[in-house]
Amino acid sequence: MAVRKKQELELEISDIAFGGKGLAKVDGFAIFVDQAVPSDRVRVRITRKKKNYAEARIIEMIAPSPLRIDPPCRYSGYCGGCKWQFLDYDTQLHYKQRHVAESLEHIGLIEGVPVHAPVPSEKIFGYRNKMEFSCSDRRWLMPDELGREEISMGFAIGLHVPGTFHKVLDTEACLIQPELGNAILGDVREYIRASDRPVYGLRTHEGFWRFLMLRHSVAYDQWMVNIITSAEDRAAVQPLADRLTEKYPDIISVVNNITARKAGIAVGESEIRLAGAPVIRDKIGPYEFEISANSFFQTNTRGAARLYDIVKQYAELTGNETVFDLYCGTGTISICLSDAARDVIGIELAESSVADARKNCERNNISNCRFISGDIKDCLEGVGVTPDVMVIDPPRVGMHKDVVRQVLEIGPERIVYVSCNPATLARDLAMIKDAYQVLEVTPVDMFPHTWHIESVAKLRKK
């Protein structure tokens, strides 16, 4: 049967594909269905038709899968934050593990590698230490909000509808941040709505209030509030900072980032401190890290500790090794390995992260880590030291092929590859598998209710 765009079909979902979409086959032709799970019986409309596959969205749920649960969040299915809340957590982990294993087999053509059950997130709600809520002059209405006259369409502060830049829900509460974050969000909403300065229009690029970013320190249960505006106007933002710090003693930092850029990124070209400290501090294991509004820090603090424990275990350090930490960010892995290695050399592109890494070493009295700022493909060969172990934690796109070549030339005894993308993990391991045996892989779940999964692979030189 030929599948056409806009066609309506009744389907039985047989599997979950990469990206978290349900998969159904019609005479062998693949149809990816948004928000569907295996064993759902659904009526769908085809939204996109390509040569080898089509995409569809559900227009009627005929018989829901027994895998479905009632999601605790009212925005589930509409909010881009969590796409899998309607699957119970064990099922999410099952599909994440399978996805890593299948990527290795199908993309990397690497067979027989044990892929362990994922290390679960200690908390599956309230786990995110950083949230970004967008302001908008257009509110995206939930089905139960349609037609209610008391609801103003011209204001929203919240999370985006999946894959959109301009559709913002007026999110009352987000369950993946700690509870106090929702109280703060409520106060900020009330203040902005009553303010005489307009919210930012995501299409017009006019307006003042742009984003609210909240950061939480797990170790000290303290908060940073970062208000992002399109212009500097202290009189408009200071009363909000005063009100928040007076009401919530756990808010120890309020800053105002100012950005005139059109891009929807909550990073300012300048920053004003409105109340308290310019940073918050958090801990991973015994180490303390200073986090400013724009620093990179893993968003699931407890998950990061588990991830780094596995990195340390796979590195098999005895105290005599030189370790390279490639793509080291703010040096968190280097620092967590520092007590078990002779020395650690981190390489990172973002200069501000390297500066943070150096400060974090000082803060923790660590003297055996050093950091090089630059593009790894340009500076790896020039380090002039041969490492015993390389930890490689690249961004989603994986390693540049010049980096792969240099890693093979340097040839450390052991490699620990940390990845947030099973597809590029498999591709990169395939490029080094003639020289390195992949011994085992442990997925670590840092992002419950999403299909994202981190993995740590242990490799030994053949």
Beta strands 209-217 and 222-229 are: antiparallel
393 is in an annotated binding site: yes
Please choose, out of 43-51, 160-168, 328-336, 337-345, the segment that lies near ligand SAM by the rule CB under 6 A.
Answer: 328-336
Q: Which one of residues 34, 282, 356, 393 is an interface residue with ligand SAM (CB under 6 A)?
A: 393
Kindly provide the residue ranges of all beta strands, DSSP E only, lying in 285-387, ordered along the sequence.
287-292, 322-326, 343-348, 369-373
- List all residues 6 or more positions away from 447 whose beta carbon is below 8 Å from its beta carbon: 121, 299, 300, 453
The CA radius of gyration of the chain, in Å to the nearest whole number, is 24
Q: Can you say whether the dihedral through the CA atoms of 118, 124, 129, 131 is positive or negative? A: positive
Nearer to ligand SAM, 327 or 371 (CB): 327
User: CB 350 → ligand SAM: shortest distance, Å?
Assistant: 4
Tokens of 126: 């309230």
List Cβ<8 Å contacts ≥24 apart for 355-359. 356/290, 356/292, 356/295, 356/296, 356/330, 356/331, 357/328, 357/329, 357/330, 357/331, 358/331, 359/290
| Distance separating alpha carbons of residues 258 and 26, to the nearest angstrom | 51
DSSP letter assigned to residue 68 = B
Number of residues binding to ligand SAM, judged by CB under 6 A: 18
Q: How many whole angstroms separate alpha carbon 197 and alpha carbon 99?
A: 47
Query: Residue 300 Cβ, how far from ligand SAM at the closest point, in Å?
Result: 11
Nearer to ligand SAM by Cβ, of 75 and 324: the residue is 324
Select from 166-174, 252-260, 342-350, 423-431 the region that touches ligand SAM (CB under 6 A): 342-350
Nearer to ligand SAM, 170 or 282 (CB): 282
Tell which one of 332, 360, 424, 442 touches ligand SAM (CB under 6 A).
Answer: 332
For the CB of residue 296, give the shortest distance to ligand SAM in the complex, in Å. Answer: 6
Name the minimum Å distance from CB 364 to ligand SAM: 15
DSSP state of 87: B
In the bound complex, what is the minimum distance in angstroms from residue 410's beta carbon to ligand SAM? 16
Q: Give the residue with the Cβ less far from ligand SAM, 237 or 357.
A: 357
Shortest Cβ 259–ligand SAM spacing (Å)? 20
Closer to ligand SAM by Cβ: residue 122 or 375? 375
171 or 217: CB nearest ligand SAM: 217
Distances (CA, A) of 24 to 41, 51, 105: 10, 16, 22
**In this complex, which beta carbon is closest to ligand SAM, that of residue 207 or of residue 331?**
331
Identity of the amino acid at 418: V
E strand segments, 148-285: 156-158, 168-169, 209-217, 222-229, 251-258, 270-276, 279-284
Closest CA to 449 of 168, 123, 55, 63: 123
Instruction: Pick the closer one to ligand SAM by CB: 73 or 345.
Output: 345
- Which positions are annotated as active-site residues? 420
Inter-residue contact 133 to 185 (CB < 8 Å):
yes
Q: Which residue has the tokens 């990206």?
A: 19
d(CA 111, CA 11): 33
Looking at residues 366 to 385 of the shown chain, list those that interact with ligand SAM (rule: CB under 6 A).
375-376
Near ligand SAM by CB under 6 A: residue from 75, 327, 371, 451: 327
Among 72, 154, 186, 395, binds ligand SAM (CB under 6 A): 395
Contact string 287-326 vs ligand SAM (x = CB under 6 A)? ---------x-x----------------------------
Smallest CA-to-CA distance from 131 within 177, 171, 170, 169 is with: 177
- The answer to whether residue 440 forms part of the interface with ligand SAM (CB under 6 A) is no
> Distance between CA atoms of 240 and 187, rounded to whole angstroms?
9
Could you say which of 110, 291, 328, 441 contacts ligand SAM (CB under 6 A)?
328
State the minimum distance, in angstroms, from the CB of residue 205 to ligand SAM.
27
Looking at the chain, how many residues does it have? 462
* 40 annotated to a ligand binding site: no
Only segment of 12-20, 88-96, 247-255, 341-349 that touches ligand SAM (CB under 6 A) = 341-349
Q: How far is 333 from 418, CA to CA, in rounded Å?
A: 11
x/- letters, 245..284, toward ligand SAM (CB under 6 A): ----------------------------------------
Span near ligand SAM by CB under 6 A; candidates 13-21, 143-151, 274-282, 344-352: 344-352
Return the range that interacts with ligand SAM (CB under 6 A); candidates 82-90, 183-191, 327-335, 354-362: 327-335
Residue 19 tokens, joined: 């990206």
Q: Nearest residue to ligand SAM, using CB?
A: 329
Residues near ligand SAM, by CB under 6 A: 296, 298, 327-329, 332-333, 347-350, 353, 375-376, 393-395, 420
As annotated, the binding site for S-adenosyl-L-methionine includes 298, 327, 348, 393
Positions at the binding site: 298, 327, 348, 393
